[in-house]
Chains A and B, each alone.
Chain A
Amino acid sequence: MVDHGRRQFMTGAAGLTFGIATGTIAGSIGTAGDVAAQPAGAQPRSRTMNPWVTLSTDGTVTIMSAASEMGQGSLTSLPLVLAEEMDADWSRVRIVHAPPNDAIYGNPRMGNVMYTAGSLAVTGYFTMMRQFGAQVRWVLVDNAARRLGVPAAELSTQPGRVLHLASGRSLSFGEIAVFAEVPAKAPEIALEPLDTVRFRLVGRDVGRIDVPGKVRGAPVYSIDVQQPGMVYGAILREPVEGASVVSVDDRAARAIEGVIDVVRLKYGVGVIADAPWAAFKAKQALKVQWGRQATGWGFSTEKGFEAFAAIARDDSRQGIAWESQGNVRKALQSASSRFEREYRADYAYHAQMEPLNSVASVSPDGTACEIWCGTQSQTFAVAAVADALGIARERVKLNDMMVGGGFGRRGNRDTEFIVDSALLSRAAKRPVKVTWTREDDVKNGRFRPLYVNRLSAGLDAGGRIVAWHHKVVSDRVLPFADPVRAKASKGRDNIAMRGTEIPSYDIPDRLAEGIHPDTGIRTAPLRAIGVGQNCFANECFIDEIAAERGVDPVDYRLALLARTPRAQAVVREAARMAGWERRAALEKQGRALGVAYIDYTGSHVAAIAEVSVDRPSGEVKVHRIWCTIDCGVAVQPDNVVAQTESSIVYGLGLALTEQILVADGQVQQSNFYDYRVPRMSDMPEMIIKVMPTPNHPTGAGQMATPLVAPAIANALARLTGARLRQQPMLPARVRTALAEGTGRVA
Chain B
Amino acid sequence: MLSVGLMMLTLLMLFTLLTPLLVPIDPLGISAVDKLLPPSLDHLLGTDELGRDQLSRLVVGSGISLRIAVAATALTAIFGIGLGMVSGQYPAIDIVVSQISDSLLIFPGVVLAIMILAALGPSELNVIIAVFVLYVPRVIRTVRAAVIEYRDADFVQAARSLGASDLRVLVLHIFPRAIGPTMVQLSLGFSSAILVEAGLSFLGLGAPPPAPTWGGMISGAREYIRTAPWLMIAPGAIITYAVLSLNLIGDGLRDMLDPRSRAAGQ
A interacts with B: no
